[in-house]
A and B are shown apart, each in its own frame.
Chain A
Amino acid sequence: MRPHVAERPPIVELIGVSRAYGQRHAVDGIELALHPGELTLLVGPSGAGKTTLLKLINREIRPTAGEVWVAGIAAHRLKASHVADLRRRVGVVFQDYKLLPRLNAIENVAFGLQVGDLRISDAEARDRSLDALEAVGLGDRGGAFPDQLSGGQQQRVAIARAVVAQPPLLIADEPTGNLDQETAWEIMDLFEDIAASGTAVLVATHNVEIVTRLKRRVVTLVDGRLVRDQPAGQTGRMAWLASS
């Protein structure tokens, strides 16, 4: 029988993590564990520290205190020369997609795959990229360039690029921020599918409807502090909205 997500060892563990910029704490004393197969929504008002938390997990920045463990790697003490080892274990999706305009959809996905692993041949990269694009519903648009795709389709390509190497963790920073509600739901469905395949997914979002209707685990940050960690299946108050 497949163990419940919380019974599996965490893929991400933050222990007393703080990050200060001068006197100001962007995040302060965060304790958090993310498990494989778990979709977690990270919410909070603007400036609450959501992006900082994602950057800490992806080792774009280091904590000023505490420990950040990602897929067995101590991100908090990881040298710059070894950051790539961690990044290969983390898929990242941004609000603005960050696709290369001169590459088509397949090439964008394959680029992400091959620069991370030189051992992957062009044929293999193409096949895997096509598989990933089919998984996000864009199997027939592989030859399209970003400016020929809608916002939702571009975000799907970005998701395909993030998961094509099958990382154990996917983080997304406001992935539906530029999309209409219908498209946003399609993207969230994708994240649910990805989580169902065993990947831990952490999504920072402002979208109240998604948070309330999805009934997934919700971690709330306010002023850099983790004020609420609501398990999946519950509907909590969106107190943070008052200050957003």
Chain B
Amino acid sequence: MAGVVVTGRFPRRRLIQTVAANLVRLVFGSAARNWGRNIGSTAPALGSMTLLLLMSGLVGLTGFALHNLEVVQAREASLLHVYLRDDAADPDVVALWNRLSSDPRIARVTYVSKADALARAHTIPGLPELANASESNPFPASLDVQVKSLNDMGAIDAVVRNESVVDPLNPTSYDRGAYERIQAVLFGIAIAGLAFVGLLGFVAVTVTMNSIKAAILSRRDEITIMQLVGAPRWMVRGPFVVEGAITGTLAGLVAGGVTFGLAMSGIAAGSQSFTQFAPGVTTTVAAIAAAIVIGTGLGLGSGSSLLSVRRHMES
């Protein structure tokens, strides 16, 4: 079979620059121009995606804080505070300390004096008011027992609560099932958060796909001409994917900025309380969360556009 494509008569100089310039103009430039032209039909996609990304950022930060909170709770749950009587004799306390330290189920025993307990209470929200309301120090001295396995907590509590040096009214901090209840609550919150974000994600992807579909229909002639003159498939689809990416990136920038701003406001407004309720959320973590939100926006916008293009554009 015959047939050759006759190449151009002009010398091919600066090939890379020419290809890059054409690529930028025909794919990125065209996408940016059309995005601006179609802002009316893109606005719903931009809005819903911004909302989705903002909620995702906040849910993500909350999830991170809850995860850290769970770690703290797990550590706390395996820490048994054995409260000592105010009149307990030092030798008896030392004897109990020695016995507990030699128990293989126990990792570490630390003595906390009344003064240490008062100082610690000042770092916990709500407790400083309680301390100030009393003329004397209301917090007892204690032995803080770090248990190796949560399963041994009950047995060790049973051993120490009847000791003579231990406060008979409030012997230990042991609360059967407390940790499991916290875990259940956190799990429920996580499921609800994921379901909410999933629903928003579905809405955002659907709206974006529809806005790209509208863009495809409005430029049907241009697409047909491009296809008929031999434009490669990626070049026909490219501008639409870039349009989606622009929408996603803008939504991500707004949502990431708001996420970062809210986290920073929280950190600045009440650093101590915030640290208690959202442990681990620092400036760095907030910045990373914002970057992830922006990246997700880029991926979501271009991904949903690609889906729409594949569905609605003929080869």
Contact = CB atoms under 8 A, between A and B. Distances in A.
A binds B: yes
Interface stretch (A116-124, A149-157, A180-188, A219-227): A116-124
Interface string A4-44: 00001111010000000000000000000000100000000
Contact of B5 (A69, A92, A168): A168
A70 B15 contact: no
B23 A124 contact: no
B15 A83 contact: no
A120 B22 contact: yes
A70 B1 CA distance: 8
Contacts of B13: 121
Interface in A148-168: 161, 165-168
B2 A84 contact: no
Interface residues of A, number: 45
- Residue picked from A81, A121, A124, most chain B C-beta under 10 Å: A121
A128 interface: yes
Interface stretch (B65-73, B221-229, B298-306): B221-229
B14 to A, nearest CB: 8
B3 A119 contact: no
B12 interface: yes
Contacts of B231: 84, 87, 115-116
B230 interface: yes
B3 A116 contact: no
A117 B8 CA distance: 10
A100 interface: yes
Contacts of B227: 83-84, 87
A80 B233 contact: yes
Contacts of A100: 221-222, 225
B315 interface: yes
A114 interface: yes
Given A84-B233, A115-B229, A168-B4, 19 more contacts: A10-B2, A11-B2, A11-B3, A72-B3, A84-B227, A88-B230, A100-B225, A113-B229, A114-B22, A114-B26, A115-B226, A115-B230, A118-B18, A119-B15, A120-B8, A120-B18, A124-B8, A128-B8, A166-B5
13 contacts: A8-B2, A83-B315, A84-B231, A85-B230, A87-B231, A111-B229, A113-B229, A115-B235, A116-B231, A120-B22, A122-B21, A167-B5, A169-B3
Interface of B: 1-6, 8-10, 12-15, 18-19, 21-23, 26, 221-222, 224-233, 235, 315
